[in-house]
Amino acid sequence: METLKNDKINITGICGIGGVGKTTMVKQVTVKAKKENLFDEIVMVVLGSSSTSLSNIQCQIADQLGLKLEGETLIERAACLRQRLANGKRILLALDEVSEELDLEAIGIPIQGENRGCEVVLTSEKDVICSQMGAQKKIQT
C-alpha cells in the first residue's frame, strides 16, 4: 500500500513462484485501495499464458473502463486507450499472471512523461519479467 501511495513509483512488480499468493495479494490491495479512495478507477486483468495478445489485453482493459475502442489496428486502439488512461484520473491497473514481457506503451498504457495516466501493479512468477517491464519496486513473495 505504501508503494501505491508513492508518486515516484508507477510500476510495481510482485514476483514469486506459483501458488504463494501473488493474485490474492493484488486482490486485497485493490480492495483496500478502493476503500481508501486512492484511485478513481481500478482495473484488474488476468493474463495467464493463453491471453497475452496485446489486442486481447486492450479489450479487457477497455471493457472494464466502459470504453469502446476506436480503430482497427493495434496502434489506433492503443491511442484510444492511452487517451482514456491519461484523462487526469488516478487509475490502478493490475496485470495478473504476466508470463512474458509486455510492451505497455504498445498496449496504450501511458507510463512515461508528466501525465503517466495510471499506476501499474503486475504479478509474475519470473523476477526478470518485472525488471524487463520497468518495475521500480519489486516485492518478492
Chain segment 74-126, per-residue pLDDT in tens: 999 999 999 999 888 899 999 999 999 999 999 999 877 655 668 999 999 99
- CATH number for 2-140 (one of 3.90.400.10, 3.40.50.720, 3.80.10.10, 3.40.50.300): it is 3.40.50.300
- Strands 118-124 and 91-96, bridge-based pairing: parallel
The band of 141, judged by pLDDT with boundaries at 50, 70 and 90, is: confident
For 76-139, give the DSSP string: HHHHHHHHHHTSS--EEEEEES--S---HHHHT---SSS---EEEEEEES-HHHHHHTT-SEEE
- Report percent pLDDT > 70 for the chain: 94
Kindly tell me the sign of the dihedral angle through the C-alpha atoms of 98, 112, 82, 33. Answer: positive
- What would the pLDDT profile of 39-48 be if each residue is shown by its tens digit? 999 999 999 7
The band of 51, judged by pLDDT with boundaries at 50, 70 and 90, is: low
